[in-house]
Structure 1
Amino acid sequence: MTLFPTEQWLAQYGRRLDESDALDDISAGWGVGFDGDIRMVIDDVPLAETTLGDLPPEVLAELPEDIRAGVEDVTLAQAPERFGEHIRPTLPEIVQDLLRQIEENIHDGAIHAHIGLREGSVTEVETLTDPDARDAGFLIHGTLTTWQGILDGRPAVSALLTNDLTVQGNQVRLLRYASMLGLLGEVAAEVETTHLFAEPGPSVTREVVDAATRPGVTVGRSAERQVTRTLQDLSPF
């Protein structure tokens, strides 16, 4: 299992995308003559609301029980300062790496995951330490809660239709490649994932839309038509 949202999870996702035959089938021409890179923006990461004790058991498993009991109430927002440079080398490697990623990769409560994509090939994956340092042709915004739902099998189409996901980029190209949005979510759900943060409870409205748009192997035609109409509403053309 790989912790989400971390650099390790993104690397696994990138490998699965690159190996996807379905992506090869539907992405001919993607990124040819235009910037096809995709930025997944994970908003509202709850650092101040999450304590070390709230994390999955494996994160603190290597800490002695007495030490673990003494740090369980420290929030992730407090942890980088609480565990300074003299203390960190004594912590388990998984905790040290998590503290580093919190400091380097979370900006204004968001994680920016950059995926280089050209036709069916993934050219790079990177969690950005400076979101302003580079551009992407398409930005997909969603809260951590929304992304967690997609990893658990919620169709990305449903999240788009309910505005839980928003997409910025050339709308004409998005219309042409509407089915890619669904596939990107399906591949994400294939990664064996442990959520670093607690998952939300179910939403009746969301479950109704999910059921109506849930695909089989790829995005169904009905759902794709709904996505197309949604993107057309956003398009100035």
Structure 2
Amino acid sequence: MADEIDFPSEEWFEEYERRVNESEQYSESGAGWGVEFNGDFLYVYEADDRLPETRHFFVGLHDGGVTDTHEVDDPDEVDAGFALRGAYTDWIDLNEGDIGAVDGMMSGVFELEGDMQKVMQYTQASVDLTEIASEIPTNYKY
């Protein structure tokens, strides 16, 4: 499909940012996230049998919207309050709806660095972010 966007890529995350910021549902479920605490995320796509090298993407989340997204060469260069890491194929399963965001964290498929209790207060926001990602026409190029 010609209109699919390669994942992971800067272009994919630009589309993700646009869609999140247009989502009335996420603007409600994410309201308050990142207010008086660092709600930014570093998504870590760990190398596996499909992805040749680990890649990192910064997603700035604040009060029901995305402030910035970009690929990060050195994860120490960004100040993210949270990191979510997992194997590339598990991220595909998450994007395709085969595993839920909260289930993935609770079961250990994904490793969360940061305040799990804070994330649990925003369970619906996590679900909404995952649903938005799943709606992007995606080419899993690896």
For 2:89 and 2:96, how far apart are their aligned partners in 1?
A: 11
For 2:77 and 2:48, how far apart are their aligned partners in 1?
A: 21
2:111 pairs with 1:166: yes
2:25 pairs with 1:18: no
**TM-score normalised by structure 2 residue count:** 0.87
Q: Pick the aligned partner of 2:140 from 172, 195, 213.
A: 195
Structure 2 counterpart of 1:132: 76
Q: Which moved more, 1:162-171 or 1:33-42?
A: 162-171
Shift of 1:124: 0.5
Structure 1 counterpart of 2:92: 148
Three-state SS of the structure 2 residue aligned to 1:122 is strand
Shift of 1:164: 1.0
For 2:129 and 2:37, how far apart are their aligned partners in 1?
A: 19
Q: What does 1:48-197 correspond to in 2, within 5 Å? A: 109-154=53-98, 155-197=100-142
Shift of 1:121: 1.7
Structure 1 counterpart of 2:39: 36
Structure with larger Rg? 1
For 2:103 and 2:119, how far apart are their aligned partners in 1?
A: 16
Three-state SS of the structure 2 residue aligned to 1:135 is coil
**TM-score normalised by structure 1 residue count:** 0.54
For 2:102 and 2:61, how far apart are their aligned partners in 1?
A: 20
Three-state SS of the structure 2 residue aligned to 1:164 is coil
- Number of residue pairs aligned between Structure 1 and Structure 2: 138
CA offset digits 1:103-151 (Å, max 9, x no partner) = xxxxxx3111101111112110011122211120111111100111112
The structure with the largest strand share of the pair is: 2
The runs of at least 4 aligned residues of structure 1 exceeding 6 Å deviation read none
Give unpaired runs (5+ residues) of structure 1: 51-76, 78-108, 198-237
For 1:171 and 1:111, how far apart are their aligned partners in 2?
A: 23
Give unpaired runs (5+ residues) of structure 2: none
For 1:176 and 1:162, how far apart are their aligned partners in 2?
A: 18
For 1:179 and 1:142, how far apart are their aligned partners in 2?
A: 21
For 2:81 and 2:130, how far apart are their aligned partners in 1?
A: 18
The 3 A distance-change label for structure 1 pair 161 and 175 is: closer
The 3 A distance-change label for structure 1 pair 129 and 119 is: same
Shift of 1:160: 2.3
CA contact (8 A) 2:102 2:123 kept: no
